[in-house]
Amino acid sequence: MPDLTYLQLQRTVTHLAKDVMQHAAAVRRDAQAVDMEATDTARDAEVIASLGVDTATVAETYELAAVAGGVSEAATAYAAAAGTTSKAAQAAGTQAQASHGGIHEAYTRANVDISRMKPEWLRQE
């Protein structure tokens, strides 16, 4: 039995691309939420500064906003990389279809008993 069949490859690649895109979308949503929190924290820093809260606390609040903004940017970059990974998985699926789809189609449509055919005959050199 072959290590990986054409159908297994197609299913695996399709599943991988879908999973990666779903995870990337979740990371994007989380990044947007963190970005909103960073903006809110910066506003909070302005408010507490206007209320006369000590400068160390105001500085720490601004720093927290900056760190949260950095986390949001990193998460957005991660999601973009995941999009690239998903496209690569889709390209692998397309390449598998181009390389082996015809063989698979001919194999499944054959009206000749090929159950005893040696798989080596179908391997691409």
Q: Is residue 9 part of a domain?
A: no
Q: Is residue 5 part of a domain?
A: no
pLDDT in tens, 22-44: 988 999 999 999 999 999 999 99
Angle at 13 between CA 86 and CA 95, to 5 degrees: 90
Residue 125: the pLDDT is 55
Q: Is residue 10 part of a domain?
A: no
Q: Is residue 11 part of a domain?
A: no
Q: Is residue 8 part of a domain?
A: no
Q: Is residue 39 part of a domain?
A: yes
Q: Is residue 44 part of a domain?
A: yes
Looking at the predicted structure, is the pLDDT value of residue 58 above 80? yes
pLDDT in tens, 67-121: 999 999 999 999 899 888 888 888 887 887 777 777 767 767 777 776 777 777 7
The CA distance from 60 to 42, in Å, is 10
Q: Is residue 7 part of a domain?
A: no
Tell me the residue range of the domain where 108 lies: 17-122
Number of domains present in the structure of the chain:
1
